[in-house]
């Protein structure tokens, strides 16, 4: 198959998954090219080492220094312009794709809009890989975005009237983005997601049935080196509030001294959140060691030295990091929330804590630290489970099946089926 790909992904699990999918599809004889805007991450696992990567411009404007009604109007028009500029970029990408005689188009998420309009411009069979809807539009994170302002105390003063108008403008911005996303996603012939949890999220947000296509783990990179385990707790994920790292720090603070250090590896860090985590860790008596953009080999080494991985993000659609830890023989302690319930089996390759309970989470950590034999058993079983169910070969088989289904059943003279 000849496949055109578009994405606007940051560094992290989504980019890693796409990189290995591209690599694996190439090894199976498929032809691929990638399109993206300059804002997409191109340094973390770069595609240009594998395939032709087309980087097309994405216009951006600068906010003026207006006040009052003009400022409100500018904010409203600014969102319309952002959508227009992304549409222009997508249209240019689609024009280039149309010139190259591809068999199908494979769209991916956008860090700004989740689902862009490129599927509407491409005249090919179209599949969309969507990890999750744009959360801020559809979830209480931490508050539902459509909530009305609190009622005025007595009469509407000037400040309340200003806040009321700003709120109306903001709500209209969100409505425009929702309208665009609904139109954009319906341009695709098939939407596939990375977990059943994500499938339900897409159904709730867009009213569409998506197909589940589980991702895989590079078991050649993430290996159990059978090294001695140190009394270290490790976490992996962006250093942002969505990863719920403060909950992990408070949970570790419930342990009796001496507490194990928490080594955290993130693809990026929110500066203010990182600062608050350091202060919280000092208050809780927890040694917190953050690392940003750790090299793969260093990450694998850390996963082979640690005694347990902790995982507690809020409503994570799937989460590939726990399986990478399992592949290194490391058991995982996770909050039973989101897609991790589909990868971590309680008592098999880790421990699932029923809800955000700091004492229960701390107890699970202590149980493995104090019983290294049990931890090693869970880690070994985790490695076996990953090799059996979560290999890249199995993931690519699922991916190819979806593509062939999209193209329709047809005879292929190529004996290899490509």
Percent share of the chain, pLDDT over 90: 78
Specify whether the CB–CB gap between 199 and 304 falls below 8 A. Answer: no
Q: Name, in order, each residue with C-beta under 8 angstroms of 328's C-beta and a sequence gap of 6 or more.
A: 222, 223, 224, 225, 300, 303, 304, 379, 383
Specify whether the CB–CB gap between 107 and 127 falls below 8 A. Answer: yes
Omega prior to 189 cis, within 30 of 0 = no
pLDDT reported for residue 71: 66
Q: How many Å apart are CA 389 and CA 384, to the nearest integer?
A: 9
Q: List the single range of 140-144, 379-383, 403-407 with lowest mean pLDDT.
A: 140-144
Residue 72 has pLDDT above 70, yes or no: no
Direct distance between the N- and C-terminal alpha carbons of the chain, in angstroms, rounded to an integer: 6
User: What's the chain's average pLDDT?
Assistant: 92
Tokens, residue 62: 């600068």
pLDDT reported for residue 414: 45
Q: What is the DSSP letter of 339?
A: G
**Which of the four pLDDT bands, split at 50, 70 and 90, describes residue 417?**
very low
Omega prior to 258 cis, within 30 of 0 = yes
More confident residue, 15 or 78: 15
pLDDT reported for residue 153: 80
Q: How many Å apart are CA 82 and CA 364, to the nearest integer?
A: 46
pLDDT digits (tens, 9 = 90+) for 73-82: 666 777 788 9
Residue 67 has pLDDT above 70, yes or no: no
Q: How many Å apart are CA 107 and CA 129, to the nearest integer?
A: 6
Burial bucket for residue 79 (CB in 10 Å: 0-12, 13-18, 19+): middle
pLDDT reported for residue 78: 77
pLDDT digits (tens, 9 = 90+) for 238-290: 999 999 999 999 999 999 999 999 999 999 999 999 999 999 999 999 999 99
**Could you give the strand order of the β-sheet that contains 31-36, starting from the edge strand earlier in sequence?**
52-55, 31-36, 2-8, 104-110, 126-129, 190-193, 211-212
Specify whether the CB–CB gap between 262 and 252 falls below 8 A. Answer: yes
Q: What are the chain's domains? A: 2-216+393-407 (3.40.50.2000), 233-390 (3.40.50.2000)
Q: How many Å apart are CA 384 and CA 403, to the nearest integer?
A: 29
185-187-189 Cα angle (round to 5): 95
Q: What mean pLDDT is predicted for residues 1-14?
A: 94
Which CA distances in Å does 13 have to 83, 170, 194, 362? 26, 31, 12, 26
Q: How many Å apart are CA 349 and CA 239, to the nearest integer?
A: 25
Cα 287 off chain centre by: 27
Q: How many Å apart are CA 379 and CA 19, to the nearest integer?
A: 26
pLDDT digits (tens, 9 = 90+) for 282-334: 999 999 999 998 999 999 999 999 999 999 999 999 989 999 999 999 999 99
Threshold 0.95, pTM exceeds = no
More confident residue, 143 or 417: 143
pLDDT digits (tens, 9 = 90+) for 342-354: 999 999 999 999 9
Q: Name, in order, each residue with C-beta under 8 angstroms of 154's C-beta and a sequence gap of 6 or more.
A: none
Q: What mean pLDDT is predicted for residues 187-215?
A: 96
Q: How many Å apart are CA 304 and CA 330, to the nearest integer?
A: 7
Q: What mean pLDDT is predicted for residues 41-68?
A: 82
Specify whether the CB–CB gap between 196 and 212 falls below 8 A. Answer: yes
Helices (H) and strands (E) in the chain, counts: 13, 13
Q: Name, in order, each residue with C-beta under 8 angstroms of 282's C-beta and a sequence gap of 6 or more.
A: none
Q: Name, in order, each residue with C-beta under 8 angstroms of 232's C-beta and a sequence gap of 6 or more.
A: 260, 261, 263, 302, 305, 306, 307
pLDDT reported for residue 169: 87
**Could you give the strand order of the β-sheet that contains 288-292, starting from the edge strand earlier in sequence?**
288-292, 262-266, 233-236, 308-311, 332-335, 350-353
pLDDT reported for residue 140: 83
Neighbours of 348 (CB within 10 A): 16
């Amino acid at each position: 198959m000849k496949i055109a790909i578009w994405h606007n992904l940051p560094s992290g699990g989504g980019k890693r998954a796409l990189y290995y999918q591209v690599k694996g599809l190439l090894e199976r004889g498929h032809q691929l090219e990638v399109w993206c805007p300059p804002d997409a991450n191109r340094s973390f696992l770069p595609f240009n080492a594998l395939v032709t990567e087309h980087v097309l411009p994405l216009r951006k404007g600068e906010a003026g220094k207006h006040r009052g009604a003009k400022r409100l109007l500018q904010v409203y028009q600014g969102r319309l312009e952002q959508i227009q500029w992304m549409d222009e970029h997508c249209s240019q990408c689609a024009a280039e794709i149309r010139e190259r005689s591809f068999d199908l188009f494979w769209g991916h998420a956008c860090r700004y809009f989740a689902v862009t309009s490129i599927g509407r411009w491409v005249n090919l069979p179209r599949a969309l890989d969507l990890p999750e809807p744009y959360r801020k539009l559809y979830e209480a994170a931490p508050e539902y975005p459509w909530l009305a302002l609190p009622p005025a105390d007595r009469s509407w003063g000037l400040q309340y009237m200003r806040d009321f108008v700003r709120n109306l403008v903001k709500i209209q911005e969100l409505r425009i983005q929702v309208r665009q996303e609904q139109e954009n996603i319906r341009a695709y012939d098939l939407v596939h997601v990375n977990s059943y949890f994500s499938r339900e999220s897409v159904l709730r947000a867009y009213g569409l049935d998506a197909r589940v296509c589980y991702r895989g783990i590079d078991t050649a990179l993430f290996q159990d080196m059978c090294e001695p385990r140190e009394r270290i707790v490790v976490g992996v994920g962006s250093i942002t509030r969505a990863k719920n790292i403060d909950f992990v720090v408070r949970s570790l603070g419930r342990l009796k001294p001496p507490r194990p250090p928490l080594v955290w590896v993130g693809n990026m860090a929110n500066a203010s959140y990182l600062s608050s985590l350091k202060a919280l860790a000092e208050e809780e008596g927890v040694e917190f060691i953050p690392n940003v953009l750790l090299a793969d080999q260093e990450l694998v080494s850390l996963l082979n030295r640690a005694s347990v991985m902790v995982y507690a993000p809020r409503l994570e659609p799937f989460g590939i990091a726990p399986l990478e830890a399992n592949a290194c023989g490391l058991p995982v302690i996770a909050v039973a929330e989101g897609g991790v319930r589909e990868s971590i089996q309680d008592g098999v390759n880790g421990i699932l804590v029923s809800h955000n309970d700091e004492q229960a989470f701390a107890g699970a950590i202590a149980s493995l630290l104090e019983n290294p034999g049990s931890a090693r058993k869970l880690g070994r079983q985790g490695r076996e489970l990953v090799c059996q169910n979560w290999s890249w070969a199995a993931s690519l088989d699922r991916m190819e099946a979806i593509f062939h289904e999209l193209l329709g059943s047809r005879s292929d003279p190529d004996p290899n089926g490509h």
